[in-house]
Each structure stands twice: as structure tokens, then as C-alpha cells.
Amino acid sequence: MKISKVSLKSLLYIIVGNLGLAVALDCFFTDNEIAAGGFGGIGVIVSSLLPVSVGTVVFLISVPVFVWSYFVQGGAYTLSALLSTAAFSLFADLFTFLPCLTENRLLAAICGGALYGVAGAVLARGYVAGSGTDLLARLLVTKFRNVSLGTLVFICDAAVVVASVFAFGDIESGIYAGFAIAVCSFTMDTVIHGFNKAVVFEVITPDEEATERLSDAIMERLDRGVTLIPAVGMYKRSDRSVLMVAVSPKQIYEVKDLIHEMAPGSFAVMLHANGVIGEGFKGLDVTVPVKDIGEDEKF
């Protein structure tokens, strides 16, 4: 069977993302008794009670989620979920020989949580499934689209932390685990949105000629689309024109220079946008089922 370029890239995302998750688990969480949510946290709890490895527990309890994923995200995504969970289970058991990098539980929660968040963002960026509650959150976000992916991961993991407090009888471990999850959630949202930052300019031009000059210059020099919005200046009740354009952060000063050059006397507002979807921007919309995303939109 021929393996496509996209499939190889997906496999790379799966390996890198789950490698980060496993390293965080083995180097920061396990020896410090921090069950930082996820199916990995459930694995830590179960393996402390039964003679079974963390990786085995994670894979077994993921099976029902695979079934749900098949109907929501499609067969290709579910296959990536299966591979991702298998990779995490393998890495988690394979890297148990790695030493604990710090015995300071607060530092372990910060470092492990940050690594968890980056690894989760890598998986989301590649439109491939993570394992455990990351996969569960990716399914839930298609239903609760007004809630961010990081927040849903936080909610799922919080339930695991509460269970770990009762299992271990250690409230302090639960507090550190909750802090680690908060760091993970913040890091994941920051990294995901950081891939797609943009700046939106809304420019009120002084006259029609300035409107034409500025819009033509932006389209020709910056290769960005411009939208003309008819408006009324309420002070003089006069017709005005508003140009709206979204650009990358590195183009901010070019737009400012064009405004001064082509439309002096304009009034401009600059807005920072954390997400832009459309031509010229490769947005990451985790609320859309992966099976509904075209191959050319993924990478």
C-alpha cells in the first residue's frame, strides 16, 4: 500500500506529540505521585492497585472512545486515534527507565503541565488524535463549540484528579495535579492560537479616491484581500468608506506606511485577532470534525 505524504506527516505528529506526553508522565508525574488527569492519570491509579502497566490500562479504557470517534470524526481520524493511543501506551511503558528530573512537586507540575500542553497542541495542529482525555475532548468540542479545547481537556482531567484524591488519599497530590492541568490547558490554548495570530485594520478613509488608492496598494503590494464597508459619519451625517483588511503581524508596519502614503488623513483602528479562517491564513478550527476538513486545509 502506498503511503501518502500527508500520512507520513500525520505519523510524525503522532510520534512527536505522544513522545512529549510520555516523557512528561515518566519524568515529572509518576515518581511525584501527580495523576495529572488524562487516561494516563487513570493508568497511574489502576497500576498502583493492580499488577498492570500504565500503557495497558490506557489502551483498554480507550476502546469505547474509539467507537465514538469512528462515528463523529470518521475512519481515518479513528485510525490515527488508535495509532496515537498505541504510541502513547508504548512510550509510557518504554521510558519508565528515565529518571525523575525534579523532586520539587510544584516544579514538576509546572514543567510536566507545560510539556503536556505543547504535546497536545502538536497533536491538534496535525489534526491527529491524542490519547485519553485529549481524544475525548476533541470529540466533545464538536458538540460544545463555544467551549475551547483547552477548557474541555481541563474539565475531563479534573474528574480524573478528583478520583485520584480518593484513590491515593492524598489531597496535596490532587492540588498539584490540578495545577498541572491548569498549566496544560493554558499552554495548549496559547500554542494553538499562536499558530494563527493576525491583525485586523479598519480604516475610515477621507474620500473615494483615497479609498481606491489604499485598497489597490494593499492588494497589489501585500497580496491581501480588502473589504469595503459603507458607513455614515454621525457627526456630520456624511457618507464614509471603511476598509477592512486582515494581515499577519509582520505586515503591520507595511499597512501603516501605506495608510500614510495613499490615504493621509484616514482614521485607522488596529485589532488583534487570535484566529482567522480563510484564504491566506491556515487557521486551526478544532470545533470542526476532521472528516469534514479537506486535505488541502490540514497542513
What structural domains and CATH numbers belong to the chain?
Answer: 5-194 (no CATH), 198-273 (3.30.70.120)
C-alpha cell of residue 24: 512528561
Q: What pLDDT is stored for residue 114 in this prediction?
A: 93
pTM of this prediction?
A: 0.64
Nearest to 123 by CA among 110, 138, 113, 109: 138
Question: Alpha-carbon distance 90 to 51, whole Å?
Answer: 17
Residue 78 pLDDT more than 50? yes
Instruction: Determine the pLDDT at residue 64.
Output: 83
The residues facing 247 across adjacent strands are: 199
DSSP string, 130-177: -STHHHHHHHHTTT-TTS-HHHHHHHHHHHHHHHHHHHHT-HHHHHHH
DSSP 235-290: TTTEEEEEEEEEE-GGGHHHHHHHHHHHSTT-EEEEEEES---BTTB----TTS-G
pLDDT digits over 261-289, tens only?
Answer: 999 989 999 998 766 766 666 555 555 55
